[in-house]
């Protein structure tokens, strides 16, 4: 088993990765500015797990974590996440996402860590040029979040070429499931349905985007981590399908009879005046052929699992 440092280990995705690694017997250090309730529970129940408080941009804190835990690999999940957050604070986004990532790369070089898995995003592409795209699609990000994630990929490529480090970028799309903190579809739909609240959205039914259940993303990340030799440095980890938000709403109504969920026609807005660029599906052929990634949850099965978890009081 390996020693793995997970940056952003207290976040939605990071905590799920930490839990999966610790459950299979890896020694895991979760580096984050704050400990989530999930991390605190892991501290109590799994001796393979350690929470390490720290901030990516604080070099002494980061190097102390590397020095103490001597990781064999790093899974880099830490970031200021999302278009809205990045628009609200572009300078902080660049500092945490880019400067923080450069600190991780420097610490890896200092302590001889040979491998990094970098959690990237579909936002690096900007507007999709087709309904389904692969990893060769041109990258023209348009907001601070996507721009910062693309910059991290490029800086990491330069580092890998210079120092021979294995750096793999895993590009995912909208991740959902128990514990999702952001009020975004399908969380808003599932919460309303399970709680018996009406939710009527004036528009958004025609917007299409690939959405991946958290368990599928985690299993893809672990498969990429365990694969010895990668023919590429970037892979899609998602579903390869892009249901419309209207179709997702219909699925929720079917799974929760009586749910008063209505999404009006048209495109979706993140917030007033902030509309996503054109999106679609991420072709996952490369990940399937390279290391056997195969999503287990289509949208309906993912919603079923999510609704069941919410009914049990999870997430």
- The CATH number covering residue 151 comes to 3.40.50.720
Residue 182 covered by a domain: no
CB 68 within 8 A of CB 57: no
Q: What is the mean pLDDT of residues 64-91?
A: 95
Structure tokens at 191: 């919460």
Q: Inform me whether the pLDDT recorded for 182 exceeds 80.
A: yes
CB atoms within 10 A of CB 273: 7
Q: Inform me whether the pLDDT recorded for 38 exceeds 80.
A: no
Residue 196 covered by a domain: yes
Count up the domains in the chain and report the number: 2
* CATH, residue 255: 3.90.25
Residues 215 and 230 in one domain: yes
Residues 194 and 64 in one domain: no
The answer to whether the bond into 191 is cis (omega within 30° of 0) is no
Query: pLDDT band at 245, cuts 50/70/90?
Result: very high
The 3-state secondary structure of the chain reads: CCEEEEECCCCHHHHHHHHHHHHCCCEEEEEECCCCHHHHHHHHHCCCEEEEECCCCCHHHHHHHHHHHCCCEEEECCCCCCHHHHHHCHHHHHHHHHHHHHHHHHHHHHHCCCEEEEEEEHHHHCCCCCCEECCCCCCCCCCHHHHHHHHHHHHHHHHHHHHCCEEEEEEECEEECCCCCCCCCCHHHHHHHHHCCCEEECCCCCCECCEEEHHHHHHHHHHHHHCCCCCCCEEECCCCCCCEHHHHHHHHHHHCCCCCEEECCCCCCCECCECCCCCCEECCHHHHHHHCCCCCCCHHHHHHHHHHHHHCCCC
Q: Inform me whether the pLDDT recorded for 264 exceeds 90.
A: yes
Residues 32 and 158 in one domain: yes
**Domain membership of residue 303 as a residue range:** 187-208+241-283+298-311
Residue 115 covered by a domain: yes
Residues 257 and 194 in one domain: yes
Residues 225 and 269 in one domain: no
Residues 200 and 217 in one domain: no
Residues 63 and 107 in one domain: yes
Residues 107 and 62 in one domain: yes
Residues 18 and 164 in one domain: yes
Structure tokens at 69: 């835990």
- For residue 81, which of 4, 15, 174 has the smallest C-alpha distance? 174
Residue 181 covered by a domain: no
Residue 203 covered by a domain: yes
Tens digits of residue pLDDT in 273-290: 888 999 999 999 999 999
Structure tokens at 18: 């930490």
Q: Inform me whether the pLDDT recorded for 39 exceeds 90.
A: no
Residues 52 and 78 in one domain: yes
Q: What is the pLDDT of residue 43?
A: 76
CB atoms within 10 A of CB 313: 7
Question: Could you tell me what percent of the chain has a pLDDT over 90?
Answer: 90
Residues 91 and 214 in one domain: yes
Residue 255 covered by a domain: yes
Tens digits of residue pLDDT in 185-215: 999 999 999 999 999 999 999 999 999 999 9
Residue 111 covered by a domain: yes
Apex CA 151: angle with CA 73 and CA 168, to 5°?
Answer: 30
Q: What is the pLDDT of residue 46?
A: 77
CB 109 within 8 A of CB 161: no
């Amino acid at each position: 088993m390996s020693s793995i440092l997970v940056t952003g280990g207290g976040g939605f995705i990071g905590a799920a990765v930490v839990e999966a690694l610790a459950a299979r017997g890896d020694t895991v250090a979760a580096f984050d500015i704050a400990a989530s309730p999930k991390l605190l529970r892991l501290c109590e129940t799994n001796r393979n797990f350690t929470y390490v408080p720290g901030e990516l941009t604080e070099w002494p804190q980061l190097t102390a974590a590397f020095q103490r835990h001597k990781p064999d690999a790093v899974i880099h999940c830490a970031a200021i996440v999302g278009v809205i957050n990045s628009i609200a604070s572009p300078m902080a986004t660049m500092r945490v996402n880019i400067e923080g990532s450069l600190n991780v790369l420097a610490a890896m070089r200092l302590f001889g860590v040979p491998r990094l898995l970098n959690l990237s995003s579909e936002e690096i592409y900007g507007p999709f040029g087709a309904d389904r795209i692969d990893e060769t699609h041109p990258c023209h990000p348009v907001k601070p979040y996507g721009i910062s994630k693309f910059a991290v990929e490029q800086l990491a490529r330069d580092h890998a070429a210079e120092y021979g480090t294995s750096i793999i970028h895993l590009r995912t799309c909208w991740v959902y499931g128990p514990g999702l903190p952001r009020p975004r579809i399908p969380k808003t739909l599932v919460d309303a349905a399970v709680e018996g609240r009406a939710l009527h959205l004036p528009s958004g039914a025609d917007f299409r985007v690939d959405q991946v259940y958290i368990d599928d993303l985690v299993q893809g990340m672990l498969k990429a981590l365990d694969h010895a030799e990668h023919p590429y440095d970037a892979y899609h980890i998602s579903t390869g399908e892009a249901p419309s938000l209207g179709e997702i709403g219909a699925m929720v109504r079917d799974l929760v009879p009586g749910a008063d969920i209505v999404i009006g026609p048209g495109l979706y807005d993140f917030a007033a005046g902030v509309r996503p660029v054109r999106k679609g599906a991420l072709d996952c052929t490369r990940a399937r052929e390279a290391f056997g990634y195969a999503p287990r949850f289509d949208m309906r099965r993912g919603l079923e699992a999510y609704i069941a978890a919410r009914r049990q009081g999870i997430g």
